[in-house]
Structure 1
Amino acid sequence: MPAAATMKELTRRALQIDQAGRYPLFLFALRADEILDVADISRVSRDEAGNLIGYQRPEVRRHIEEIIDYLNNGDAIFPNPIILALSSRAKFRSSRGPGAGDGLATAGNLTIPLPQPGKPKPAWIVDGQQRAIALARTQRRDYPVPVTAFVADSVNLQRDQFLRVNNTRPLPRGLVTELLPEVDSPLPPRLAMRKAPSALCDVLNNDKASPMYGLIKRASTTKDRASRAVITDTVVVDMISESLTSSSGCLFPYRDMRRNETDFDGILHALFTYWAAVRDVFPDAWGKPASKSRLMHSAGIRSMGRLMDRVLGIVDPRTPNAPETIRQHLALIAPHCRWTSGTWNDLGLRWNEIESVPRHIQELSSHLIRLYLNARAELT
């Protein structure tokens, strides 16, 4: 019978390791059927105000079934611990006597309060979501499972640890992308470089004034919004990141490298203005699934992003007539674009043969920029 049905609290022998004074770390064991009695899986979603809550990836059925099959084998060894963030309601009492500690760890008892039905659980799974679900479904209900837990009521700290634990693992890029703006502590360089573009992507998707409002598919996108979300978020992040970090990018001048400051309002105004013009010049291709419009496809977003660097290198998006001027510039290439039908001249590819591979993105980018430069040259 699950532990929650038989007692109000759970006590386990544990080791306390003092790595950081504010966040004690515990090593202990739980039975397979106790883990989900104690811990919640905090999946990524958004509240009514659009704020990000949770941090876990969606359940992966095949992976879980493979773990269950392994656990049901009598010789199964399960050395990798489940990592939990514990509520501060959990209490540790060290053992008495000089042998309780060795300078690295202290032995004692960890008491975890168990919730009443329908009430919040005292822990959250930071790493091991799929394993925890599999353990709850295995035939071996009393299988002992190693657990590492740290005390943290803050979701921000939980997210921070989740990203760090999974930094070298194949986490879905979209999940990492959406979580990054919510983490306040210093990040590894590889993740830190994506934080600002990810935050900008978030605004593009959630600001009702944005031409991409609701069109970007994120890890937290709900089923009722999924049909409208036709642009992959990682592609938008890559498009913004390339323009921000390249000295030839139109967003690069908004960064003050000497003061380590960035004009995010200016960047958002530039992005809103340019992509609103793209929407207006290509209305029949805008907002459709990538299978029906290559403008919304990864290759289309990346290529039009590179064209953005050329157009906004000439047109100042802060001027009053910028929206109309940008539309005029994009109109120069419009007759040659084959976003929803036909064949791209010079590329020799039908509209739906454009794929999200480096070669096609590079060829389409070069083609659009060449069309644009040639058309402008003919006007002078």
Structure 2
Amino acid sequence: MPSIIVNAMKVEQPIGEFFFGKMKAKDLLEISYADVRRLEKEERDVEKYLGIQRPLKKNRVKDINSYINTVDATFPNSIILSIDEENVFWNDGELSIEYSDESKGNIAKILDGQHRLAGFDSNNITFIDYEGIEKDFEVLITIFVNTDMALQAKVFSMVNQNQTKVNKSLVFDLESLATSRSPWKTCHSIAAYLNDKKNTPFYHRIKRLGVKAYEHEIEPLTQAAFVDNLVKLITPNAQVDRNIILGKDKGFLGFSSKTLPHMDTDSLNKFVFRKAFSDDEDETILKVVLSFFSAVESVWPDAWRKDQTSSILNKTVGLISMFRLLNFILSSLLIDKKLDLKYQINKEDFAELLKSTNVSGGYFLTLDATSKTSVSVFNHLKEKVKFK
């Protein structure tokens, strides 16, 4: 009979006894399953709800899968499981999970952590350490034995109800502590600079941690919105870029010869700040962003005023449309060879292009702040801008 040996400890809490230990991700994948909440009909068409888990979110699994492939991936919190007592044997600090070949995929019910576990596949259940040695990716596990559905539901509810989602602006702000470069760190630094320096269009305009920082100031934009949309002008995958740079900085074998992807001409024209980022020229990105939004402020001053609450330029949808317009302008100039990757373009150049649209500031005061608005504003300006 197959078995998995787990180095574990027994824990006693008011809810009862459970075990805490570690297991190879590949072993847990083989024996675990998620009991998704569902409605089933029994005899005589009696309906009954079964299961406790939420359905998997494919995009979240995809993001976790990408994260697991990074050089510093970690899951320091445990995956919580429920296993029947007939499959668990405890002997002085060693826990053995035994099962038959026929039942191995139906042994450990996941009470919490199904998305983390679903992020693993045959390509990332092992990893290469900095010395080039392949090792099994291990995960922490908490095992409840022989728990009924009521207790399983209580554990699931307790863990998930008490979790507070981390503010994305705070996550980006913490990038400043990273020792290696990344698209997120670059864009955070630019956001912080523009927000802190007087005489910039974004002075005290960005909520650095997603909350108001200055008692008597109006901060209509979040740091997360600024960073997210500037990153899109640098890379199609910030995680991949960060992983390559971090791997090279830490001297991981296999990374010394790696270079950033998407450095072909088409990509450099599409992600207009990619070359500057690749060349470690964050100041160049800052100067162009500052020049463009200074032009926006000068061409549409009333709509840009941060106390102009009816203007979509003071909202995320307006910020998105302006970043898209900046990318379109730079991309068009690069493709037409009217600009090279040294980005010799200033505020006056941008202002001339914005004025060529013949769009007045009042236009931005008449729109509703919906997700569709950012697309319609961008398309409207894109069609009207005239290049010499």
Q: Same fold (TM over 0.5)?
A: no
* TM-score interval, normalised by the smaller of the two chains: 0.3 to 0.5
